[in-house]
Chain A
Amino acid sequence: DAKTTQPPSMDCAEGRAANLPCNHSTISGNEYVYWYRQIHSQGPQYIIHGLKNNETNEMASLIITEDRKSSTLILPHATLRDTAVYYCIVKGGGTSYGKLTFGQGTILTVHP
């Protein structure tokens, strides 16, 4: 699975959009980009995943660049409950495993 690079921390004002970047320059053609988050003292929670098209669900949007070397997770209207560590994970398809390699992630702090 390709390595990812994320900023260690970011701040966001409540109600504003939070844009979390992730670099994955060595991603290969069959690898997906996953995002999970971990709120303090809880288990990680799946947010969204994508291959090459932009994706949106009820939690967030995922924008993947055309060359697939980077992506951005967007929380459109951040709330205090979105304060968490956000992990960007690149993983091949076809294995259907939850064998996830977590990097250091980005600590997102949402301020009132």
Chain B
Amino acid sequence: DTEVTQTPKHLVMGMTNKKSLKCEQHMGHRAMYWYKQKAKKPPELMFVYSYEKLSINESVPSRFSPECPNSSLLNLHLHALQPEDSALYLCASSPVDREVTEAFFGQGTRLTVV
């Protein structure tokens, strides 16, 4: 199984809603990532988790709250988002015990904030 599964695929939420994005992998990877991709732009890193601990936060606003409850699961909790937060949110995973490695990406959640 070399898949990273993200749910839901699409999400529409109001600015006062609270919602969560979910990401799951069963490849035994101990590093997981959230990226944000605006239309016609490249993906931008948001968060990195290593061994279930947050290791990098790229100065992301607090309305985005990541969580890694176990080694297979990564969540992104959303609260009080703005319309400009509408984007494709990508999850990725990779091993941490190799010199050179590749990242495996999910298909993303397309988020629309209204």
Please list the residues of chain A having a beta carbon within 8 angstroms of any beta carbon in chain B.
Answer: 32, 34, 38, 41-46, 49, 51, 85, 87, 93-94, 96-105
Contact = CB atoms under 8 A, between A and B. Distances in A.
Which 6 interchain pairs have the tightest Cβ spacing?
A98-B103, A43-B105, A102-B42, A98-B94, A46-B102, A96-B96
Nearest to A43: B105
Contacts, number: 70
B100 A97 contact: no
B48 A99 contact: yes
Interface in B41-86: 42-45, 48, 50, 56
Contacts of B48: 97-99
Nearest to B41: A104
15 contacts: A41-B110, A42-B108, A43-B4, A43-B90, A43-B92, A43-B106, A44-B43, A44-B103, A96-B96, A96-B97, A97-B48, A97-B50, A98-B104, A99-B45, A100-B45
B92 A98 contact: yes
B94 A49 contact: no
B107 interface: yes
A94 B99 contact: yes
Given A46-B103, A49-B102, A102-B42, A97 B94 contact: yes
Interface residues of B, number: 30
Contact of B104 (A46, A85, A87): A46
Contacts of B104: 46, 98
B92 to A, nearest CB: 5
A11 B3 CA distance: 30
A103 B102 contact: no
Given A93-B99, A104-B42, 11 more contacts: A32-B100, A41-B88, A41-B108, A42-B107, A43-B4, A43-B107, A46-B103, A96-B96, A97-B94, A98-B94, A98-B103
